[in-house]
Amino acid sequence: MLKHVQLPAVIVDIETTGGNVTYDRITEIGIVEVTENGVTEWSTLINPRMKIPPMIQRITGITDAMVESAPYFEQVAKEILLRLQGKLFIAHNVRFDYGFIRNEFSRLAFTFKAPLLCTVKMSRALYPDRDGHSLEKIIARHQIMVQSRHRALDDARATFKFIQIAEEENSAEKVRAALQSQNRRGSLPVGFDPALVEALPNSPGVYYFWGEAKELLYIGKSINIRKRVLSHFTADHRSSKEMKICQQTRHITFDQTSGELTALILESQKIKALQPLYNRKLRRVSNLYSIQLEDAGNNTLVPKIVSLNDNLVGRSKLYGLYPSAKNAKQDIQTLCDQHGLCYQLAGLEHPGNRACTSHQLKKCAGYCIGKSSVLIHNVKMLEGFSALALKAWPYDGPVVLIEPDQHQESATHLLIDNWRILGVAQSEADYADILNGANAQPLDKDIYKYLVSAILGKASRYKIYPLPPIS
Q: Examine residue 87 and state whether it is found in any structural domain, yes or no.
A: yes
Q: What is the mean pLDDT of the chain?
A: 87
Of 205-209, 217-221, 298-302, the poorest mean pLDDT is in 298-302
Q: Examine residue 41 and state whether it is found in any structural domain, yes or no.
A: yes
Q: What is the predicted pLDDT for the residue at 236? A: 47
31 shares a domain with 147? yes
CATH code, 115: 3.30.420.10
* Domain count along the chain: 4
380 shares a domain with 403? no
Choose one of 274, 300, 333: the last residue of a domain: 274
266 shares a domain with 200? yes
Interatomic CA distance for residues 63 and 208, integer angstroms: 33
132 shares a domain with 31? yes
Choose one of 330, 357, 388: the last residue of a domain: 388
269 shares a domain with 294? no
pLDDT (tens digit, 9 = 90+) per residue, 219-271?
A: 999 999 988 998 887 664 556 677 778 878 888 999 999 999 999 999 999 99
- Render the burial of 251-264: b for 16+ CB within 10 Å, e for the rest: ebebbbbbbbbbbb
Interatomic CA distance for residues 126 and 130, integer angstroms: 9
Of 1-5, 327-331, 406-410, the poorest mean pLDDT is in 406-410
Cβ atoms 310, 440 nearer than 8 A:
yes
456 shares a domain with 368? no
Classified as helix, coil or strand, 75 is helix
33 shares a domain with 173? yes
**Where does residue 415 rank: exposed (0-12), middle (13-18), buried (19+ CB within 10 A)?**
buried
Q: Examine residue 284 and state whether it is found in any structural domain, yes or no.
A: no
Classified as helix, coil or strand, 6 is coil
Q: Examine residue 413 and state whether it is found in any structural domain, yes or no.
A: yes
Q: Examine residue 283 and state whether it is found in any structural domain, yes or no.
A: no
207 shares a domain with 88? no
Q: Examine residue 223 and state whether it is found in any structural domain, yes or no.
A: yes
306 shares a domain with 269? no
Provide the pLDDT confidence category of residue 68 given band limits of 50, 70 and 90: very high
Classified as helix, coil or strand, 465 is strand
Within 350-430, where are the H helices?
357-360, 374-385
Interatomic CA distance for residues 356 and 362, integer angstroms: 10
313 shares a domain with 256? no
Judge whether residue 188 has pLDDT over 80: no
| Dihedral of the alpha carbons of 88, 90, 93, 96, in degrees to the nearest 10 | -70
Choose one of 135, 157, 183: the last residue of a domain: 183
Q: Examine residue 393 and state whether it is found in any structural domain, yes or no.
A: no
347 shares a domain with 293? yes
Predicted model pTM: 0.62
126 shares a domain with 16? yes
Domain of residue 438 covers 399-466
Whose CA is closest to 102, among 230, 217, 41, 12? Answer: 12
pLDDT (tens digit, 9 = 90+) per residue, 387-434?
A: 899 998 899 889 999 998 876 667 899 999 988 899 888 888 888 888
Q: Examine residue 79 and state whether it is found in any structural domain, yes or no.
A: yes
CATH code, 268: 3.40.1440.10
Q: What is the predicted pLDDT for the residue at 267? A: 93
